[in-house]
Amino acid sequence: MKQLLLIMNPAAGTKKANPHLPEILSVFGRAGYACQCFMTQKRGDGTELAARFGAAADLIVCIGGDGTFNEVISGVCASGCPTPIGYVPAGSTNDFAASLGLSKNILQAAKDTVEGEALSFDVGRFADRHFTYVASFGAFTKTSYATPQSVKNILGHTAYVLGGIKELSSLHAYPVTAVLDGKLRIKGDFIFGAVSNSTSVGGVLNLDPKMVDMNDGLFEVLLE
């Protein structure tokens, strides 16, 4: 029997995936997988669990938001295990999941992880940390971390909007020098900057899907 490692953030989004867990496990069971299931308790658990148990699994499935998914990716990259990863988006915004075209329906997304075709996409690295979605600085970048999970559970994406409003009074510019292949490209003062691999950032900034190739070895740079 094939082995499946399930890593779930039970506090993600509005906890909409929690009631579906028995059905999700049934989907995987019918597909011939024996499931080893873990619930994250704190930030970083997804990385630790993926690194510790991922190599022994035939498939890793993450249920949570983009942050939880990024943790799982980081664990897989750090350990070097080649196990494919399925993603059931259950967060407040799910920008990266939307860029991948994943279903917003919890059960359909679970079915797609075992019935769909695998695809590859780029993963970035900033120092010792990996990221799939965005590495950013400046305006509103603290919102996702500073907004309490309890508020996100109640308000969903609106919680990020309200958190961003609180940051307006503290906005300031950062001196930036962007260098590519050893050559100076951009220099100036910016209140926001991001290196991304997504068609949407924060549910606010949208990029033309025709311009974003998530498997071309390149990331997009946004400066404002």
Average pLDDT over residues 185-191: 86
61 and 99 belong to one structural domain: yes
In a domain, 205, yes or no: yes
The single-letter code of the amino acid at 103 is S
Point out which residues pair with 222 in neighbouring strands. Answer: 194
Is the pLDDT at 75 greater than 90? The verdict is yes
In a domain, 31, yes or no: yes
51 and 104 belong to one structural domain: yes
Q: What is the pLDDT of residues 2-53, one digit of tens each?
A: 999 999 999 987 888 999 999 999 999 999 999 999 999 999 999 999 999 9
**Which domain range does residue 14 map to?**
2-121
Pick the more confident residue, 90 or 160. 90
**pTM here?**
0.78
In a domain, 70, yes or no: yes
In a domain, 145, yes or no: yes
In a domain, 106, yes or no: yes
32 and 115 belong to one structural domain: yes
In a domain, 58, yes or no: yes
Pick the more confident residue, 143 or 79. 79
18 and 88 belong to one structural domain: yes
Boundary of a domain, candidates 121, 156, 181: 121
- CA angle, residues 82, 103, 144, in degrees to nearest 5: 80
Q: Three-state SS for 215?
A: coil
Provide the CA 195 distance to its chain's centre, in angstroms: 14
Is the pLDDT at 212 greater than 90? The verdict is no
Q: What is the pLDDT of residue 155?
A: 43
- Average model confidence (pLDDT) across the chain: 83
177 and 207 belong to one structural domain: yes
20 and 113 belong to one structural domain: yes
In a domain, 126, yes or no: no
Under the banding of pLDDT at 50, 70 and 90, the label for residue 160 is very low
Torsion angle in degrees (nearest 10) through CA of 160, 127, 96, 3? -120
Is the pLDDT at 167 greater than 60? The verdict is no
Boundary of a domain, candidates 93, 121, 149: 121
Q: Is 27 exposed, middle or buried (0-12, 13-18, 19+ CB in 10 A)?
A: buried
Average pLDDT over residues 76-104: 88
114 and 137 belong to one structural domain: no
112 and 195 belong to one structural domain: no
- Going 196 to 102 to 29 to 9, the CA torsion angle's sign is positive
192 and 93 belong to one structural domain: no
113 and 186 belong to one structural domain: no
Average pLDDT over residues 139-162: 51
Q: How many domains does the chain have?
A: 2
Cβ pair 125, 131 in contact under 8 A: yes
Pick the more confident residue, 200 or 110. 110
Measured between alpha carbons, how far is residue 196 from residues 8, 10, 17, 93, 220 in Å?
24, 27, 27, 16, 5
Q: What is the pLDDT of residues 2-16, one digit of tens each?
A: 999 999 999 987 888
49 and 136 belong to one structural domain: no
In a domain, 99, yes or no: yes
The radius of gyration of the chain from alpha carbons, rounded to an integer in Å, stands at 18
Is the pLDDT at 151 greater than 50? The verdict is no
Q: What is the pLDDT of residue 161?
A: 47
94 and 116 belong to one structural domain: yes
